[in-house]
């Protein structure tokens, strides 16, 4: 039997089925759906879980003389790292307020907004649960498991602080990672430093949450809901303030709705 005849008689399972081009198209379509919709949500869940774990653990384990320094550095560093490794997959939001602002500023599609928020909420609960599992129960309970509370009971000041700090955070996110005119490769570092600076500035007032998922996770795990609405109203209003400024003043030609 000649070599040419041998080649014509050797078949594989894939050779007998549908045409190669059609199979490649179907495979590419499945890969596209996974990478466009499923993988980003998984990245948001996993990244939010790790961020909330580090955040809660830094509060629960802060029993020394570090004061606000430990939570500020832990939150900022963890967020910067998560954005660096997951940013190309999901945008690295890990925060419903950031996702809302990103959508309103044209940085993501509406179809992903709801799944992102759900993934972030679940990630927050997972992270808070992991933190509770690491520390002894009495140590975790002493600090509410990293949950937020308005310690001075001045709800107006706490809400205003959350609005301002979240506006600062979302402005940095949108200008450094979304807006074409000002986009920077240093976005993860800038965003992490912004979180750290905000915690230094507003920690004594409201705890400097800026992230409903960060508040929701430990609230569920520790059943602590005192003034929980502050950590939704403040960040959402801050995100809306940023959206208005970018859409009207600071956005690039594609983003602005006026003076095009």
Q: Which domain holds residue 206?
A: 16-250
Q: Using the structure block, give the residue that is written with the tokens 């967020």.
A: 79
Spell 106-140 as b/e; 16+ CB within 10 A means b: bbbeeebbebbbebbbbbbbbbbbbbbeebeeeeb
Cα distance between residue 66 and residue 248, in whole Å: 42
Q: What is the pLDDT of residue 16?
A: 44
Q: What is the pLDDT of residue 2?
A: 45
- Give residue 169's pLDDT band: very low, low, confident or very high (50, 70, 90): very high
Nearest to 213 by CA among 135, 140, 123, 150: 123
Q: Does a structural domain hold residue 8? A: no
Q: Does a structural domain hold residue 258? A: no
Q: Does a structural domain hold residue 233? A: yes
Higher-scoring residue by pLDDT: 204, 23? 204
Q: Does a structural domain hold residue 10? A: no
Q: SS3 for 137-174, per residue?
A: HHHHHHCHHHCCCCCCCCHHHHHHHHHHHHHHHHHHHH
In whole numbers, what is the pLDDT of the chain averaged over residues? Answer: 90
- pLDDT for residue 114 is more than 90: yes
Look at the chain and report how many structural domains it folds into.
Answer: 1
Q: What is the pLDDT of residue 6?
A: 45
Q: What is the pLDDT of residue 152?
A: 80
Q: Is 203 helix (H, G, I), strand (E, B) or coil?
A: helix
- pLDDT for residue 153 is more than 90: no
CATH number for the domain harbouring residue 212: 1.20.1080.10
Q: Does a structural domain hold residue 179? A: yes
Cα distance between residue 52 and residue 62, in whole Å: 15
- pLDDT for residue 147 is more than 90: yes
Cα distance between residue 91 and residue 173, in whole Å: 10
- Give residue 243's pLDDT band: very low, low, confident or very high (50, 70, 90): very high
Q: Does a structural domain hold residue 107? A: yes
Q: Does a structural domain hold residue 104? A: yes
Q: Which CA distances in Å does 176 have to 11, 55, 130, 142, 245? A: 54, 23, 31, 38, 15
Tokens of 126: 């997972």
Q: Is 107 helix (H, G, I), strand (E, B) or coil?
A: coil
CB atoms closer than 10 angstroms to residue 171: 21
Q: What is the pLDDT of residue 7?
A: 45
Instruction: Read off the pTM.
Output: 0.88
| Of the listed ranges 59-73, 98-112, 212-226, the one predicted with least confidence | 59-73
Q: Does a structural domain hold residue 162? A: yes
Phi, psi angle pair for 143, to nearest 5°: -115, 20
């Amino acid at each position: 039997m000649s070599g040419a005849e041998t080649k014509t008689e050797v078949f594989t399972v894939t050779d007998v089925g549908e045409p190669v081009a059609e199979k490649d198209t179907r495979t590419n379509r499945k890969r596209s759906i996974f990478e466009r919709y499923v993988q980003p949500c998984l990245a948001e869940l996993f990244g939010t879980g790790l961020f909330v774990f580090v955040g809660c653990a830094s509060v629960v384990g802060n029993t020394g003389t570090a004061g606000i320094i430990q939570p500020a550095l832990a939150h900022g560093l963890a967020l910067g790292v998560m954005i660096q490794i997951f940013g190309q997959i999901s945008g690295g939001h890990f925060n419903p307020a950031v996702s809302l602002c990103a959508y309103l500023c044209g940085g993501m599609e509406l179809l992903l907004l709801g799944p992102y928020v759900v993934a972030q909420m679940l990630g927050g609960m997972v992270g808070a649960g992991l933190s509770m599992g690491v520390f002894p129960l009495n140590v975790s309970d002493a600090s509410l498991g990293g949950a937020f509370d308005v310690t001075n009971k001045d709800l107006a000041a706490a809400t205003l602080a959350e609005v301002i700090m979240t506006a600062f955070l979302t402005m940095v996110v949108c200008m450094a990672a979304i807006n074409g005119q000002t986009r920077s490769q240093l976005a993860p570092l800038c965003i992490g430093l912004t979180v750290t600076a905000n915690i230094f500035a507003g920690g004594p007032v409201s705890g400097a949450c800026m992230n409903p998922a960060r508040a929701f996770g430990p609230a569920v795990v520790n059943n602590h809901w005192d003034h929980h609405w502050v950590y939704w109203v403040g960040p959402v209003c801050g995100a809306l303030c940023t959206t208005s400024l970018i859409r009207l003043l600071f956005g690039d030609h594609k983003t602005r709705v006026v003076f095009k």
